């Protein structure tokens, strides 16, 4: 409840100091959710989270004080420089590249429910504050880096939590680009992303799946479960017939209207890479690991043993 209140304070505040206070309440209420006595990884993750968020909060407080002092110091402080510092602090809070290094490592130590909160709810407040700032050049660089890092980082992952973390960084790039165009498109994208992430993490949590090899061996008997799981995977990647393509379509349409062709090309290329590793997982699960195939292999092995 306090975590939700913290986010609402940030979103509804009319000063940077009030926004900082909301972020701080949000941070201090999320850390007890992370720490689990049975898991030493979660304690490490909560410490990492605290340190990075505390650093970002300190920088945010410092820059908001600078903005307040600006009126008293006869405009000696450059406002764009202060806005850039605020933007960097907020990007660190949300886990966008190049400030993303804490995010995948921390995700590795969390439960699926905490991961879901981190990927969705914890991004609302920083992204809302980013949408108030008019720093298109810095946003442009961040978007390009986020989509590339999200695409490249997920290529060699066997851990599902890290895969979801890099996917989150990639989607964050898309969200930041939609913030540049319009706030309503950003909200639509965020809602779709939250919905798809919720379904996937909910299924991972029910079946206690944490690594890639568990995906292949788990759904041997139930084809419907297998299909629903991997359709959500492809939807998160943004494959056209599925739901996840719709918000991307809206962003693509708006970016072409704003003549942002270079940015759009980079974003679409990176999404193709993310789709490649999602498709690779799905192809392996559907084609190579299914029950009949396993049964046939056992039959063949038994017959060879009999022959010997």
Helix, strand, coil percentages for the chain (3-state, nearest 5)? 80, 0, 20
pLDDT at 285: 80
Question: Omega before 145 cis (within 30°)?
Answer: no
Measured CA to CA, the distance from residue 243 to residue 43 in angstroms comes to 36
- Residue pLDDT, tens place only, 111-140: 999 999 999 999 999 999 999 998 889 999
So where are the chain's domains? Answer: 1-287
DSSP 151-204: HHHTTT--BHHHHHHHHHHHHHHHHHHHHHH-HHHHHHHHHHHHHHHHHHHHHH
Percent of the chain whose pLDDT exceeds 70? 90
Q: Is 252 helix (H, G, I), strand (E, B) or coil?
A: helix
pTM of the model: 0.91
Measured CA to CA, the distance from residue 196 to residue 198 in angstroms comes to 5
CB 236 within 8 A of CB 197: yes
pLDDT at 74: 64
- Residue pLDDT, tens place only, 60-114: 999 998 888 876 766 667 778 888 999 999 999 999 999 999 999 999 999 999 9
Q: Return the structure tokens found at 70.
A: 């600006």
């Amino acid at each position: 409840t306090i975590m939700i209140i913290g986010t609402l304070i940030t979103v509804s505040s009319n000063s940077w100091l009030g926004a900082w206070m909301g972020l701080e309440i949000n941070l201090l209420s999320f850390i007890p959710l992370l720490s689990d006595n049975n898991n030493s990884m979660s304690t490490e993750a909560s410490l990492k989270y605290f340190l990075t968020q505390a650093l970002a909060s300190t920088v945010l407080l410092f820059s908001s004080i600078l903005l307040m002092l600006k009126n008293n110091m006869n405009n000696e402080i450059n406002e764009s420089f202060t806005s850039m510092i605020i933007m960097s602090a907020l990007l660190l809070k949300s886990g966008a590249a190049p400030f993303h290094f804490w995010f995948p490592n921390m995700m590795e130590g969390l439960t699926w429910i905490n991961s879901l909160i981190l990927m969705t709810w914890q991004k609302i407040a920083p992204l809302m504050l980013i949408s108030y700032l008019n720093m298109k050049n810095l946003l442009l660089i961040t978007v390009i880096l986020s989509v590339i890092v999200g695409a490249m980082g997920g290529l060699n992952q066997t851990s599902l939590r890290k895969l979801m973390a890099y996917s989150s960084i990639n989607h964050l790039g898309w969200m930041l680009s939609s913030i540049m165009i319009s706030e309503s498109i950003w909200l639509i994208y965020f809602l779709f992303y939250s919905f798809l992430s919720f379904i996937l993490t909910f299924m991972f949590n029910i079946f206690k799946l944490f690594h890639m090899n568990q995906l292949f061996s788990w759904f041997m008997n139930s084809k419907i479960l297998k299909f629903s799981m991997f359709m959500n995977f492809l939807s998160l990647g943004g494959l056209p017939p599925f739901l996840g393509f719709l918000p991307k379509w809206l962003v693509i349409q708006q970016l072409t209207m704003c003549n942002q062709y270079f940015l759009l090309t980079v974003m679409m290329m990176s999404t193709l890479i993310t789709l490649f590793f999602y498709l690779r997982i799905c192809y392996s699960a559907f084609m190579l690991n299914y029950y009949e195939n396993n049964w046939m292999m056992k039959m063949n092995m038994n017959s060879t043993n009999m022959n010997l």
